[in-house]
A = this chain, B = another copy of it.
Amino acid sequence: MPVRIAGASSTAFGRHTESSSRELFSDAAAAAVSDAGIIPRDVEAVYVGNFMGDVVEDQGHMGALLAEAAGAREAESVRIESACASGGSAVRAAVNAVRAGSRDVVLVGGAEMMYTVSTPAITDALANAADNEYENQAGLTFPGIYALMARAYLREFDATREDLAHVAVKNHANGVANPVAQFHRECTVEDVLDARPIASPLGLFDCCPVSDGASAAVVVSESYASEAGLDAPISIVGSGQSSDSLALQDRASMTRTPAAERAADEAYEEAGIGPEDADVCEVHDCFTIAEVLAVEALGLYERGEGVRGAREGETALDGRVPVNPSGGLLAKGHPVGVTGVGQIVELAKQLEGRHPNQVPDARVGLAHNVGGSGASASVHVLRGEGY
């Protein structure tokens, strides 16, 4: 049963050090609710993605906190956490609640504050997404984990650091026009290759930034949309989610993300489409290598061929299948628990024909959200009616 998106909005991603998750979510939720043409009291459930509130804001119980901030204090509320895939998991929980007939109006969102703490503290907080007993204790942090994956990929396939750099160049170019993006500055392949090394072979521009931000979307049943006369032309027609071992060491391959492959298969099957039907994609490019793995997991490219996307311009705005027209995590930013909802906000705008980087005639959008180094993944298929 398809569910509808009635409204969606994100705050700017980036630096909001004078704010808090409560305040940021209040802004995003108010905009999404207004966009939907409802009032906060119509909201029956609030599902929020948040990863590090406990550590960074000394604040858990974000479901109730953010429901109240959205003006829906009596609604059911819960926080959903699957590391950097928290947002996508929250979207899936909303889809389940509506499909189950349990709720007709769900506000799904996320909020995250990351800038307010020091770089070592944020590295520690992010490391909670990896396997503490087996990875963190050994000194691995996420740039290191993805650098291992990048090294393995470059060794296994016919690919170079320059190929990865093209991902950063494309996504930074896309970010320029997106008002909610954290960065609005283009970069060149040379900039990426010459940037400060973070974890070889990844340099500064291969890595997404630390970001504050919030996103929200109003997900409703078809019957509610119809009875309330809402303008809700976008449907979530497929939802998939799967897992893998938390630690990289336990995977059969470092150059595949099978959880995302399974999530994509499930979402495609529900939607009755295949990767060839995608018009626009928002994927989890926390590092340049991650976008390459993402387009392969989604079946847009064969294994080892994903680097062609950015290098040949096939995933550019005017390419065969635009990937991350929002700027992606690399340029738009990555408030970790928010990202999966932020992707839905971007895709909703695309399918309604009102995105600053509009993909012409976009009717089918894919959202691909990953937690950790691939231990959690969700994929959603959105369909518009044309605009």
Contacts and interface: CB of A to CB of B under 8 A. Distances in A.
B262 A64 contact: no
Looking at A58, A133, A246, A375, which has the most chain B CB atoms within 10 Å of its CB? A246
Contacts of A239: 102
A243 B75 contact: yes
A61 B99 contact: no
B68 A77 contact: no
A314 interface: no
A216 interface: no
A30 interface: no
A382 interface: no
A82 B63 contact: yes
A230 B362 CA distance: 47
A170 interface: no
Interface stretch (A47-55, A189-197, A199-207, A283-291): A47-55
B375 A74 contact: no
State the copy count for this chain.
2
Given A82-B78, A376-B78, A58 B136 contact: yes
A27 interface: no
Interface in A52-95: 52-55, 57-65, 67-68, 73-83, 89, 92-93, 95
A328 interface: no
Contacts of A92: 78
A116 interface: no
Looking at A59, A127, A371, which has the most chain B CB atoms within 10 Å of its CB? A59
Given A133-B22, A371-B64, A74 B244 contact: yes
20 contacts: A20-B133, A59-B131, A59-B132, A60-B81, A60-B129, A61-B83, A61-B372, A64-B83, A64-B371, A64-B376, A68-B246, A73-B243, A74-B259, A75-B243, A77-B376, A79-B80, A79-B82, A99-B99, A99-B100, A99-B102
Interface of A: 20, 22, 46, 51-55, 57-65, 67-68, 73-83, 89, 92-93, 95-97, 99-102, 124-125, 127-133, 136, 239, 241-246, 250, 258-259, 262, 371-372, 375-376
